[in-house]
């Protein structure tokens, strides 16, 4: 059982602040590191793995700094985002290479076991260059499983996977979690994180924007002001009615097509307001579209709140 702790960690590259004063306590189980592109997730994972020194602050596992401690590297497995592998090696040779580099006591058995865990035995003797994206992802995972790390770090592990490969990878990560491992994976896809992570850490523009289980993160999102576009049988009338509603912050007619742009305070209440108004006043709703549901808007809200 290993706790990964980041204390006041920052990292900059020249003038670019990639990670800005982050504190995190990551416990055994699956944690999702969620954030848009460029948020600093890869930089964070590299620091967690001890590959990259923080500019300031410390990363520790069970109290010992990871950077510069060979003993700690033995406990960590990092699956990087890069797809380029040694294409001329077979999957088996690649995993074995890592077993040898890690100095595991019985590299042949460890290699076979790791390959079996990711269900790649049938393709183990094929060259990596012939693998699909999902297979490459699995062989990368096998290559870090050879030394049986207590902490497994995965950068965008579901990238390019089809639904079956995705389910398989999720099952694999669940299995590690059940064996008491600490797993951190990065993603910019909300649903991916929701499906598998017990704990979610949201990172935006290098800052730690939110932390909690998925229900807590969702609540932060749904409690924020929401924007919608509405079209109905009498837009002008509905806009006037909406302005009298306490849950509505603003409503205006869009000049181009007279559709109504609405900002509502509370998603839960607003969901009841529209059908009630339509029923009471005999209006027919033709369209109701959320206009700020992109991940970016959710993130920027979390960061600015
Ligand atoms: N070696 C580097 N030199 C200069 N800037 C860098 C370097 N590595 C990362 N950055 C910058 O640091 C910031 C964070 O990058 P990082 O790759 O950690 O984010 P990310 O969340 O993993 O993004 P993505 O999902 O796109 O990989 C970005 O602005 C990036 O351009």
How large is the ipTM?
Answer: 0.93
Residue located nearest, by CA, to atom 12 of ligand 1: 18
- Fold classified for 224-304: Alpha-Beta Plaits (3.30.70)
Beta-bridge mates of residue 252: 261
Atom of ligand 1 at shortest range from CA of 206: 14
Atom of ligand 1 at shortest range from CA of 46: 18
DSSP letters for 173-239: HHHHHHTT-EEEEEES-HHHHHHH-SEEEEEETTEEEEEE-HHHHHHHHHTS-EEEEEEETTHHHHH
pLDDT for res 127: 95
pLDDT for res 194: 84
Beta strands in the chain (DSSP E): 4-13, 16-26, 29-34, 56-61, 64-65, 76-79, 151-154, 182-187, 199-204, 207-212, 226-232, 248-253, 260-264, 285-290
Atom of ligand 1 at shortest range from CA of 203: 21
Distance 42 CA to ligand 1 centre (A): 7
Look up the pTM and report it: 0.78
CB atoms closer than 10 angstroms to residue 116: 13
Do the first three CATH levels of 4-221 and 224-304 match, i.e. the same topology?
no
Distance 8 CA to ligand 1 centre (A): 19
4-221 CATH:
3.40.50.300
pLDDT for res 46: 95
Residue located nearest, by CA, to atom 24 of ligand 1: 37
Atom of ligand 1 at shortest range from CA of 44: 18
Rounded to whole angstroms, how far apart are CA atoms 289 and 176?
Answer: 40
Distance 55 CA to ligand 1 centre (A): 15
Residue located nearest, by CA, to atom 13 of ligand 1: 18
Residue located nearest, by CA, to atom 25 of ligand 1: 37
Residue located nearest, by CA, to atom 4 of ligand 1: 13
Residue of 6, 40, 299 to test ligand 1 pocket, by largest number of atoms within 8 Å of CB: 40
Residues having CB within 6 Å of any atom of ligand 1: 13, 16, 18, 35, 37-43, 188
163-178 vs 133-145: helix crossing angle, rounded to 10: 10
Per-residue pLDDT of the chain (305 residues; tens, 9 = 90+): 789 999 999 999 998 999 999 999 999 999 999 988 888 999 999 999 999 999 999 999 999 999 888 888 889 999 998 767 788 999 999 999 999 998 899 999 999 999 999 889 999 999 999 998 888 989 999 999 999 999 999 999 988 788 888 888 899 899 999 999 999 999 988 778 888 998 999 998 899 988 888 778 777 766 667 788 899 999 999 999 999 998 898 999 998 888 999 998 876 678 788 889 999 999 999 988 777 655 555 666 565 54
Ordered by start, the domain boundaries in the chain are 4-221, 224-304
Distance 206 CA to ligand 1 centre (A): 9
Residue located nearest, by CA, to atom 30 of ligand 1: 38
Residue located nearest, by CA, to atom 31 of ligand 1: 38
Residue located nearest, by CA, to atom 10 of ligand 1: 18
Residue of 10, 11, 43 to test ligand 1 pocket, by largest number of atoms within 8 Å of CB: 43
Name the percent of the chain in helix, strand, coil, to the closest 5.
Answer: 40, 30, 30
Distance 111 CA to ligand 1 centre (A): 32
Residue of 12, 14, 18, 206 to test ligand 1 pocket, by largest number of atoms within 8 Å of CB: 18
């Amino acid at each position: 059982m290993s706790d990964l702790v980041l204390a006041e960690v920052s990292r900059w590259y020249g003038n670019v602040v990639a990670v800005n004063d982050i504190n995190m306590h990551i416990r055994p189980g699956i944690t999702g590191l969620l954030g848009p592109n460029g948020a600093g997730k890869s930089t964070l994972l590299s620091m967690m793995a001890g590959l990259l020194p923080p500019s300031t602050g410390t990363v520790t596992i069970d109290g010992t700094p990871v950077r510069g401690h060979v003993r700690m590297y033995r406990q960590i497995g990092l699956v990087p985002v890069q797809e380029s592998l040694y294409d001329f090696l077979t999957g088996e040779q690649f995993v074995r290479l890592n077993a040898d580099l890690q100095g595991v006591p019985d590299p042949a058995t460890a290699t076979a076991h790791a390959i079996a865990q990711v269900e790649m035995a049938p393709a183990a003797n094929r060259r990596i260059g012939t693998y699909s994206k999902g297979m490459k992802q699995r062989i990368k995972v096998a290559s870090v499983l050879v030394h049986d790390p207590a902490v497994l770090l995965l950068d965008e592990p579901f990238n390019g996977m089809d639904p079956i490969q995705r389910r398989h990878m999720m099952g694999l990560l669940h299995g590690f979690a059940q064996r008491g491992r600490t797993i951190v994976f990065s993603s910019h896809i909300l649903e991916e994180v929701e499906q598998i992570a017990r704990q979610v850490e949201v990172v935006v523009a290098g800052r730690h924007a939110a932390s909690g289980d998925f229900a807590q993160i969702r609540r932060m999102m749904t409690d924020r002001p929401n924007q919608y576009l509405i079209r109905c049988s009498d837009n002008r009338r509905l806009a006037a009615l909406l302005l009298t509603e306490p849950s509505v912050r603003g409503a205006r007619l869009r000049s181009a097509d007279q559709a109504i742009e609405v900002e509502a305070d509370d998603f839960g209440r607003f969901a009841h307001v529209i059908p009630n108004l339509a029923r009471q006043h005999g209006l027919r709703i033709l369209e109701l579209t959320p206009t700020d549901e992109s991940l970016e808007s959710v993130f920027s809200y979390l960061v600015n709140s």
